[in-house]
């Protein structure tokens, strides 16, 4: 069975983006290439039983067995040593990617406490959109009553887009709750104002 969002992309989203972004070639329309999910292990990385639980949870959330990432160097402040277990990582493509995307947008994110949307500043110039989820228990596959340790996750949506604007337009078509980062805009305004003030003083 074809994932719902995969079918929606082909039948609706492509046409919508061609119209909105003025694409003439259908092959140039941006698409989601893959989704990368990382989960930090913390102290659980040194405990075999807790590691197994984390791997089980990550597998349930993503539908794919994760790989274990290691610390590349020792960091005394974080009590980590080179080669020790750092986290879990999953890279999703094709059907599993769309299935995860559906659960993420329509079930997990709405469950986030005091959720106010994902800021557009999370998008970089390479077409990647990265954000964090503080509690993995927002995913429907996790039974809260059986969780001993709540883990945070980083999610990166990798697209074929070459601009922030087009990436945001693409993700909004999938109903991503993206909002403008007003705080970042305020900082930019303050910075410009300070620069202008300095120039005015110099002229005087």
Residue 11 token pair: 């039948």
Residue 189 is predicted with a pLDDT of 45
Residue 184 is predicted with a pLDDT of 58
Is residue 108 a contact partner of residue 140, using CB atoms and an 8 Å limit?
yes
Q: What is the DSSP letter of 138?
A: G
CA distance 149 to 138: 13
If we measure between CA atoms, which residue out of 129, 114, 112 comes closest to residue 172? 129
CA distance 200 to 189: 16
- Rounded mean pLDDT of 10-21? 96
pLDDT, tens digit (0-9, with 9 covering 90-100), for 83-118: 678 889 999 999 999 999 999 999 999 999 999 999
Instruction: Classify 85 in phi/psi space as left (phi over 0), alpha (psi -120 to 50) or beta.
Output: beta
> Which residue has tokens 């305020």?
186
- Decide which of 180 and 73 is more confident: 180
> Which residue has tokens 């009553």?
145
Q: Residue 187 — pLDDT band, cuts 50, 70, 90?
A: low
Across the chain, mean pLDDT equals: 87
Looking at the chain, the whole-number percentage of residues with pLDDT higher than 70 is 84
pTM for the model stands at 0.84
CA dihedral 137, 119, 31, 15 (to 10 degrees): 110
| Cα first-last separation, the chain | 72
- Kindly report the CATH number that applies to the domain delimited by 4-179: 3.30.1440.10
């Amino acid at each position: 069975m074809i994932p719902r969002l995969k079918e929606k992309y082909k039948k609706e989203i492509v046409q919508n983006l061609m119209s909105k972004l003025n694409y003439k070639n259908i092959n140039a329309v941006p698409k989601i290439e893959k989704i990368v999910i990382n989960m930090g292990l913390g102290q659980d990385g040194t405990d075999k039983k807790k590691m197994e639980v984390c791997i089980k949870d990550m597998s349930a959330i993503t539908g794919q067995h994760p790989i274990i990432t290691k610390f590349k160097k020792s960091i005394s402040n974080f009590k980590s040593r080179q080669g020790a277990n750092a986290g879990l990582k999953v890279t999703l493509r094709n059907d599993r990617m769309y299935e995860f995307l559906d659960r993420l947008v329509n079930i997990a994110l709405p469950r986030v406490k005091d959720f106010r949307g994902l800021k557009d500043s999370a998008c970089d110039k390479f077409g990647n959109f990265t954000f964090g989820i503080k509690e993995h228990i927002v995913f429907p596959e996790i039974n809260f009553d059986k969780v001993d340790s709540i883990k945070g996750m980083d999610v990166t949506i990798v697209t074929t887009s070459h601009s922030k604007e087009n990436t945001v337009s693409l993700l909004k078509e999938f109903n991503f709750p993206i909002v403008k980062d007003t705080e970042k805009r305020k900082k930019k305004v303050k910075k410009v104002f300070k620069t202008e003030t300095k120039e005015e003083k110099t002229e005087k």
